[in-house]
Amino acid sequence: MPVGEDTRGVDTLEVVAVLLPFLYGLFFCVALGNALLMLRPGVKKEGPAIRFLIPARDEEENLRVLLPLLAAQGKITVFDDDSSDATAAVARDLGAEVIRAEAPLPPGWTGKNRANHLLGFSDYEEEYICFLDADVRVSPDFASRLRSMAQPNRVATAFPAIRHGDFPEPIMLGWVGWSLLALNPFFLVRLTGKGHNRFTNGQITLWPAELYRKLRANEQVRHHILEDVLIGRLLGKNNVPVDVAILSADLSVQMYKTWRKAFDGMSKNSFEIAGSSLGTFLLAFFLLVLAWGWLILPWWGAALLFGSSVCTSAVVRGNILYSLALPLSLTVGAVTLVRSWWWHRTGQTVWKGRKYTP
- Predicted confidence (pLDDT) per residue in 225-262, tens digit: 999 999 999 999 999 999 999 999 999 999 999 999 99
Residue 59 clears pLDDT 80, i.e. is over it: yes
Q: pLDDT higher for 267 or 356?
A: 267
Q: Give the model's pLDDT for residue 16.
A: 75
| Percent of all residues in the chain with a pLDDT value above 90, rounded to a whole number | 89
pLDDT at 175 over 50: yes
Other residues' Cβ atoms within 10 Å of the Cβ of residue 348: 14
Number of other residues whose CB lies within 10 A of the CB of residue 123: 8
Q: Report yes or no on whether pTM surpasses 0.95.
A: no
Q: How high is the mean pLDDT of the chain?
A: 93
In sequence order, what are the beta bridge partners of 338? none
